[in-house]
Structure 1
Amino acid sequence: MTVSLWPRGPGSSPRIEEGVCALVFFLLLHNVDAGVQIESQQRDFFVIEGRNFTIAADINITQGDTIASAFWAKKNGERQRIVDCFPDQVETASYSRYTGRGWCAMQADSITLTLTKLTPKDSGDYELKITLNSGEIGTVHFTGKLYVPVFNVTIVPHSEKTDRQTKLILKCKVSAGTDPIFKWTASDKTIARSSKYVMSADLSVLTILELESSDCHVYTCIVKNDVNVEKKLFNVSESEDVPFCREHLYAHVLL
């Protein structure tokens, strides 16, 4: 008598380009009863506030047995039931804060959970529990990680004068964002590491060595992750924090 569960694929979550994070599952399949054989695979999925997701699992039951009951639950220290599942039915969740936004759909060989209008509290550990009419039990665990869009990009400038040379440091910062990726451009042209341009390991800090008048233009910090892209422009010539460029700008105007 066996029950096997494994991920069916990315589910029915919308694609990233439509504003929804691509879903990657975290399914940890393990035995609860000696007669239940379940394959193991570890994945995780991201929870994006305001979005929806669907997680699916295929069911393989030994011929002659059937599912008596199943349910999805959230585990935050203690199990919090989300929705009960019944064969060939779609049931709306009737438990706590999941009322009206959680659904379970069960077919002969599959079972899914859909949650809508996600909140940060929806991140954490989940469990699907299936009980057969024979009394044997199968479970599957998965984890939702909160994925935060890039938010509030700023550039903090700092210039240093040594001897007759000026060094400009531009620090790009974000208030929030999961796995931010940084990129710099100068007048819309991508900046690469060189003897002129020094960057931090994560590319968030750009240092311009031996600042010249030709370097006094607009720099852009572009920050992105799997959810969105944000950018911030910094005009060196108009910044009071870089007197070198302002002096050259005014000198050019006077000429």
Structure 2
Amino acid sequence: MNIKELDPDSSPQAAFGARLRRLRGERGWTQDELGDRMGYSSTGRKMPTLRLARRADAALSTGDTFEREWREMRHGSLLEGFPEFLEHESRAAEIRLYEVGVMPGLLQTPDYAAVLADSAVRRGSITPEQAEERVALVAERQASLNRTPPPMVFVVLDESCLRRPVGEPAVMKEQVQRLIEFAEQPNTVLQVAPFDMGTRRPFDLPITLLTLPDRSLVSYAESAQRGHLERESTSVVPLLTAYHQLQAEAPSQASSVAMIKTLRKGTP
């Protein structure tokens, strides 16, 4: 029987496939038998998904081996700096973020995240599998906030995040309600930077600032081509100062939530 060789050193995908084939062979299963156990008609896809990796681990009793291997592959396709940022974010004591245009991932509802991901698929910038993984990543990041003790999360949204429609009205209505619920949590502060702040706004682009458990600071920002993670205090401390200025200039959480509720009433 002529079986196509897989060189595990040729690519991460080939290494994933070679491991899957080896473990399947050790158990004496055919590809169809493994597919049945995993709930897939075929396991020979070019780019594995998170769901496939988890089902492979379950079928082959390999713990989280395939899931970890999948994450390494996924991180290889993410913007430079973002995988390391995710590690810092998952253990940060304080998270401060300012977002423009769209809701930040930590506050997105599943439907809102899915609409953004599906839009990227239609533009041809990502595959349907990558869209599924993008939505799963949003959920994973949000789940990491439920650790004990939870981090303090400070969010300032540019008014454009509220004004830009994403998906059907029901999607936006649910997303707005999510913001209100977020603001009610004891470890969160939510503010809206209205358009009329004008030049009193210290940031023009999104920024995230993390305070780690040892009180060191990290900042993260993205361009169209790459993410930039900064650890040097001489660069990050001025950003933190500017963020405090942003919070001081923006309306209070009570006023911001009142504005959000007004928008919610106007949502069909």
The answer to which structure has the higher helix fraction is: 2
TM-score for the superposition, normalised by structure 1: 0.24
Bigger fraction of residues in strand: 1
Q: Which has the higher contact order (CA 8 A, sep 6+)?
A: 2
